[in-house]
Amino acid sequence: MTTVPPTAAAPLVDPFGRTVSYLRVSVTDRCDLRCVYCMAEDMSFLPKAEVLTLEEIDRVCSAFVKLGTRKLRLTGGEPLVRKGIHELIHSLGRHVKAGDLDELTLTTNGTMLFKYAGDLVEAGVRRINVSLDTLDPHKFQAITRWGRLDKVLGGLQAAKEAGLQVKINTVALKGVNDDEFHRLVGWCGEQGFDLTFIEVMPMGEIGDEARLDQYLPLSLVRAELAKRWTLDEIDYRTGGPARYVRVAETGGRIGFITPLTHNFCESCNRVRLTCTGTLYMCLGQEDAADLRTPLRLSDDDGLLVQAVRDAIARKPKGHDFIIDRRHQGPAVPRHMSVTGG
């Protein structure tokens, strides 16, 4: 029987035997865009008093690292709009440099990359995900409600020049960007970017937009891509839920994230921390744990660590996402920007 040395913390293992080694942290619920599948146009954001300080986020993340977390992703909202975010990223980078963390990365909409790309590399970030659903400037503005494509493309160029590996995340939207999938595959191949398609997720009220009208199964997307591209199965994983193929014509990789048509729960190694200190053990379930209270009750991490372990002991087997005519409201009432993308 293997015993854990007294100086090492026992790893986080859920009731189904899955080791939890990946923490996604929403550092803010705020964003400088209002993508139609993610947010309502007139979003109400959290009062600053409810949001964890950057020092508190650092402390929680560091506690998770001591408990065996090997991958840490910063998300939002848009993480790079958080004031002082570069200080947090540099501070967390110490775990990468010490060998205690395999990867520190983030998901961004790309609007601030022109400013932060160099800082990210200096802090130890090597790979980022950039949300981009179209290469058409007018369509980009319509999807984001007021964004500028040229600003994002400039940020992507800055990321390339800084040496960051880029993966483009594209939400497949029926009747919106389904005429651009081949173009996106070719463009990503030219740029040296990986590309991941994502099914729209039923989270949060988004105003007049109907998710059923937006929803496009990725099985159809893949079938369409196969008409033009040779998609070879590969055994490639990044620690997340995507399943990848390689495009023979470009050499690039395409991932598919399918929370609706084929969920990825059986291998889930992830939990999500909101900017208020709420830990969600599953993206598609409402059960959550309050980490802010134990965090603030003591300068010692004992209460915090126990709260984390208690939460992991409640991690469910999987989510219950569904989109159909009988379920007009979101499957989960909170917005993705609150939980962390």
Q: What is the pLDDT of residue 85?
A: 96
Question: DSSP characters for 269-329?
Answer: -EEEE-TTSEEES-TT---EEE-HHHHHH-SSSHHHHHHHHHHHTT--S------BTTB-S
Binding residue ranges for S-adenosyl-L-methionine:
37, 77, 131, 201
Q: What is the pLDDT of residue 9?
A: 75
Binding residue ranges:
24, 31, 35, 37-38, 73, 77, 107, 131, 167, 201, 265, 268, 270-272, 282
Q: What is the pLDDT of residue 3?
A: 44
Alpha carbon 195 to chain centroid distance? 14
Question: DSSP characters for 222-239?
Answer: HHHHTTTS-EEE-----S
Q: What is the pLDDT of residue 6?
A: 39
**Which run of H or E residues covers position 121?**
helix 113-123
Residue-by-residue pLDDT tens, the chain, 341 positions: 444 443 357 899 999 999 999 999 999 999 999 888 777 777 778 888 889 999 999 999 999 999 999 999 999 999 999 999 999 999 999 999 999 999 999 999 999 999 999 999 999 999 999 999 999 999 999 999 989 999 999 999 999 999 999 999 999 999 999 999 999 999 999 999 999 999 887 544 444 445 567 789 999 999 999 999 999 999 988 767 788 999 999 999 999 988 654 455 677 889 999 999 999 998 767 789 999 999 999 999 999 999 999 999 999 887 554 444 444 444 444 455 555 55
Q: What is the pLDDT of residue 1?
A: 41
Q: Which amino acid is at 228?
A: R
Binding residue ranges for [4Fe-4S] cluster:
31, 35, 38, 265, 268, 282
Q: Domains in the chain, start-ordered, CATH in brackets?
A: 22-339 (3.20.20.70)
Q: What is the pLDDT of residue 285?
A: 75
Task: Check if the beta carbon of residue 113 is closer than 8 Å to that of residue 151.
Answer: no
Binding residue ranges for GTP:
24, 73, 107, 167, 270-272
Strand, coil or helix: 116: helix
